[in-house]
Amino acid sequence: MWRMARPRKPLLSRDRIVEAAGALVDAEGLGAVSTRRLAAALGVSGPSLYNHFRTKDEILDAVADAVSARVDLSMFEPGAGRDWQGALHDWAHSYRDALSDHPNIVPVLARGPGRRPAGLRVADAVFGAMTEAGWPPAQATRIGALMRYFILGSAVGSFAGGFVDDEGAYDPSDYPHLGQAHLLAERRREVDEGAFETGLAALLDGLALQYEALTGRATGG
């Protein structure tokens, strides 16, 4: 019986291309992704990539969708026992966690889901949960957009990381209220996560007031 020899290198696949492209985006940004760079990283010829993706944009879309696929949507399932406000809270944190690991891909995600399956599943889950909770469809659409703006914006950069660890940079004669700004960088995670939770709570509390006004029901009712 004849047996085929195993290839010396793993066969090229969509998953391998997406993994290599994602690593390049994480390390060097969107501009680092090119057919030449990917082919070199994968040990293949450039044209072979086109058997799986037609363009660089398709590759970046696939990388973005791989990140979207990591977002937990279980809180929106009928048997999860969560009200819409609690579900949005947990989903927002899961979404932000996924983006925080891959901030360089955020500009692609910001374009919207397009035809990306995982991105569309996220949009479908949020919209479906809001309308099933009693939100009018138009307002449910706005809530999905609002939450996406907030979450994506939080992942673009760090507020605390934007200050330098140098007390001399903040002369009190010029910046009388920034005397402790040089301490922000070393507290980056605490500040940024606290800011996200503060903003998320404010958004959800405001939506709860709108929900009661529209439906006559308090959250969870």
- Picking from 204, 198, 197, the residue whose alpha carbon sits closest to that of residue 133 is 204
- Percent of the residues in the chain that have a pLDDT greater than 70, as a whole number: 95
pLDDT digits (tens, 9 = 90+) for 91-124: 999 999 999 989 999 999 999 999 999 999 999 9
Is 5 a residue whose pLDDT tops 70?
Answer: no
Residue that the structure tokens 């609002």 belong to: 146
- Picking from 100, 89, 75, the residue whose alpha carbon sits closest to that of residue 158 is 100
pLDDT digits (tens, 9 = 90+) for 191-215: 999 999 999 999 999 999 999 999 8
Query: What is the C-alpha separation between 112 and 131, in angstroms, rounded?
Result: 20
Query: What is the C-alpha separation between 92 and 200, in angstroms, rounded?
Result: 8
pTM of the predicted model as reported, rounded to 2 decimal places: 0.87
How high is the pLDDT of residue 19?
A: 95
Query: What is the C-alpha separation between 100 and 94, in angstroms, rounded?
Result: 10
Between 157 and 115, name the one with better pLDDT. 115
How high is the pLDDT of residue 220?
A: 58
Q: Note whether 192 and 160 are within 8 A (CB).
A: yes
Using CA atoms, how far residue 96 sits from 30, 86, 189, 217, in Å, is: 19, 16, 13, 29
The residue type at 143: I
- Percent of the residues in the chain that have a pLDDT greater than 90, as a whole number: 75
Cβ neighbours of residue 11 closer than 8 Å, sequence gap 6 or more: none
Confidence of residue 221 (pLDDT cuts 50, 70, 90): very low
How high is the pLDDT of residue 21?
A: 95
Output the CA angle 129-124-96, nearest 5 degrees. 85
Confidence of residue 216 (pLDDT cuts 50, 70, 90): confident
- Picking from 153, 180, 155, the residue whose alpha carbon sits closest to that of residue 169 is 180
Confidence of residue 6 (pLDDT cuts 50, 70, 90): low
The residue type at 9: K
First to last CA, the chain: 69
- Picking from 150, 181, 152, the residue whose alpha carbon sits closest to that of residue 165 is 181
How high is the pLDDT of residue 3?
A: 54
Query: What is the C-alpha separation between 120 and 207, in angstroms, rounded?
Result: 23
